[in-house]
Amino acid sequence: MAYVMYFLLFGLVLGLAAVASNPSPYFAAFGLVVVAGVGCGVLVSYGGSFLSLILFLIYLGGMLVVFAYSAALAAEPYPEGWGSWPVLGVMLIYLMVVIFAGLMFFGGWYEGSWVTADEFNELSMFRGDVGGVALIYSSGGSLLVLGAWVLLLTLFVVLELTRGLSRGALRAV
């Protein structure tokens, strides 16, 4: 299990460095979807399968909207990809900073501290994330409705800001 966690966390850090170092919105939106998938894999490894499913669906819908806006508003005929030298250079700098910070704060961490939610529940009838599901539907329902309202309002604000003097993303090029 520790090797799976190493692989997922390495993929998460590598994906975040790829997103942060890429100037093109096409590749950055795809990188965000990959990072969201790997992050949900980390949550599944810790025992939060329902939470990771909810987050992945929200991230997937949000990244679809972000990718549609970035593809409509970016007019680059030749976008820079992850294989170009400036992007690789910035990505290597980000990875070196992460490695340096990891070596500086590494003391005291070991694999035994990665305990999942279902690790010590041999005689339990419920999984570790069932209590979170109950909280989402009981006391978190009003915050869920408030979050949906804020996201809808944000969508209309972004549409109004990108409209400009003509029809925004729907204009003829």
Helix (H, G, I), strand (E, B) or coil at 1: coil
Tokens of 3: 């090797």
How far apart CA 58 and CA 43 sit, in angstroms, is: 15
Write down the pLDDT at residue 120: 60
Residue type, 16: L
Residue 158 inside a domain? The answer is: no
How far apart CA 26 and CA 47 sit, in angstroms, is: 32
**Domain housing 13:** 2-106
Residue 97 pLDDT class (50, 70, 90 cuts): very high
Q: Residue range 88-99: average pLDDT?
A: 89
How many structural domains comprise the chain?
1
Dump pLDDT digits (tens) for 13-32: 888 888 888 767 777 777 77
Residue 17 inside a domain? The answer is: yes
How many C-beta atoms surround the C-beta of residue 104 within 10 A? 8
pTM score of the predicted model: 0.63
Write down the pLDDT at residue 27: 75
Residue 44 inside a domain? The answer is: yes
Q: What percent of the chain has pLDDT over 70?
A: 68
How far apart CA 119 and CA 95 sit, in angstroms, is: 32
Residue 46 inside a domain? The answer is: yes
Q: What percent of the chain has pLDDT over 90?
A: 3
Report the half-sphere exposure of 88 (CA within 13 A, side-chain side). 4
Question: pLDDT at residue 88 above 70?
Answer: yes
Dump pLDDT digits (tens) for 108-143: 666 666 666 566 666 666 666 666 667 767 777 788
Residue 88 inside a domain? The answer is: yes
Residue 134 inside a domain? The answer is: no
Residue 151 pLDDT class (50, 70, 90 cuts): confident
Nearest CA to 29 out of 60, 59, 66, 73 is that of: 66
Dump pLDDT digits (tens) for 50-77: 778 888 888 777 777 767 776 666 666 6
Write down the pLDDT at residue 78: 72
Question: pLDDT at residue 149 above 80?
Answer: yes
Alpha helices by DSSP H, the chain? 2-21, 25-45, 49-73, 85-104, 130-137, 141-163
Tokens of 64: 């679809």
Residue 169 inside a domain? The answer is: no
Residue 55 inside a domain? The answer is: yes
What is the DSSP secondary-structure string of 104-144?
Answer: HT-TT--GGG---TTTT-SS-SS-TTHHHHHHHHTTSHHHH
Tokens of 56: 């992945």
